Structure 1
Amino acid sequence: MTMDMMRMCTQTQTLQNVPLSIRGGHSRNILDVFHVRRQKDKVVIIMGATGTGKSKLSIDLATRFPGEVINSDKIQFYEGLDIATNKITPQEQRGVPHHMLGVLDPNVDFSADDFCDVTCRTVESILNRNRLPIIVGGSNSYIEALVDGYDKMFRSRYDFVFLWVDVSLPVLHSFVSDRVDQMVENGMVEEARAFFDPNADYTKGIRRAIGVPEFDDYFQYGPFLDEETRAGLLEQAINAVKDNTCKLACRQLEKIRRLRNKGWSLHQLDATEVFRNNGKESHEAWDRLVSGPSAMIVRQFLYNVKADVPTNLPAIRVPAAMETAALAAATY
């Protein structure tokens, strides 16, 4: 196991006396972890295309129901490229513990099996602290491997609820384009330049990230071109980042729909109106259409509260004492 894997396991505060060898197949000892409690524990899984607000929702829920976030974005596992990969900032995290976020060496590979191993250990660690694990990210193939693969271990061990933050593609594509422009203003080009290597393999590690290979020609040939030609090459690279991000959103949405057709029960939360508005109206739409209904879905999931989920109410916080007591009771 590499030092990066050890660091990830340490960062996720894994259980004591559980071996950290997560490569080369599943550790036999992890099987013991799944038989500690008598009933299934509960996990929240947030899905959606890039840019739809998954991270924001995870923070909203983690602060309502004492929880911790587990990143499932395969590129955000890595250190670096915080702008290009759109990592949630410490300020945006609002004190919520995050796991598997920015902890891997940029050059190592991290497979779906690795993700499943570390995620299961992290879930157990969070549950042992009587807190709610919230898995969030756009790498749906990794989520599928966790839920339907891994010898069905995850399904047999946990109950989980899927929240799908959805935005109509035309609205999302417009937002993505504007977001890339903002990333450029925030220093994405300079950030990517630090990772430029003319001999780099763009199929491995963090260099797979959208926002790295698109600038290869600009970094390689730009210094030898006149200012106008160089500016044109930069514009082409930025447009390629926008196009590839939109294509990624389409693939992610297609994958989610396949999972739904496969039988996954996904709670779809349409955030389109949020992105069509600005300022106060956008915040109100988020509370009414996404955060509020999600909180009620999770409350029903955790505490078996039988109630319809309204679509016209702002976010409602369940009393923290009741949430904590219910989570603690559900642990044994």
Structure 2
Amino acid sequence: MLASDPVSRRTVISLLSKMLALASLPSSALATAKTSSKKVYLDYTLDELEVASDPRANLPNWRETFAKLQKLGSDARAANPPTTHSYGEGETGLIDVHAMNVPRGAPALIFFHGGGWQLGSKEDMAFMAPVLNGAGIVYVSPNYPLAPHAPMAQIVAASRDAVIWTYRNADKLGIDREQIFVGGVSAGAHISAYLLALDWSGFGLPKMPLKGGVLLSGAYDLAPIKLLKSRAYLGLTDADVQAFSPIKYVSRMSAPLLVGWADGDTPVSRYQSSQLVKEAKALGIPVQQNIEVGKNHFDFAFALADPSSELSRKITKMIQGSSRH
């Protein structure tokens, strides 16, 4: 019998000890033990996804790089002061228009800053203005509401309003309203991709008033973002993921795209960017891609301040070429 078998008795005692130990653990610890190895997105566990989605991972000098970019922006803004207008309410409803020495009737790029939908401002990317203005392009840079004070629905609605304001005020701003492009970096690329999939006819504009899009190091599927503890401040719901993930609506896009990222960007951003390119091509949407070699999520932006960089040349060629048609 089992009770008379010393080996079996030891086995029973060991099993009972393990069961008692497990029973003493809090339910959260049990859940963690069960799910820590579970794949939640692509081949990533939740912990791995946190790292694969964090642009600061393995970049100890990211703050220094960001500070250099901010100085570039402030210097450019001082040398090329914009006119500042209100498209919405308060500070988050301000929009800068850089048009130094740009003739009237010029094309425009409305560019949304990054910052994880939580940080940043219209001043951050002002270093793009001299490059674009020098190519005869008006540079428009809006603020928009930020999380956690604003949910995603409010963020994208305000960004939409910035485009509507620019379109309706194009004559006053010296912009050709038939040649308005939209773009952004990181969170701003997500916003821009969303805007490129909208049907604008319900807002008193043509169905697609945007001539093209410049999407750099963006997030185009919010499903993995919703899972991240580091992005809990966004308060994303399943409905938000469905409504505001541009990758779900590529079939609604029609304007030409320039999709860019750095080869040292986050694995998730690289994957989603390449998927956007793949789906756009499959649907016959004109799309270019630009990969900054040897760069990361932050320092690739220096290319946007350099008129001779491949990225800047592709952007200006895309916009100038369209305005000639």
**TM-score, normalised to structure 2's length?**
0.38
Q: Which has the higher strand share?
A: 2
Higher alpha-carbon Rg: 2
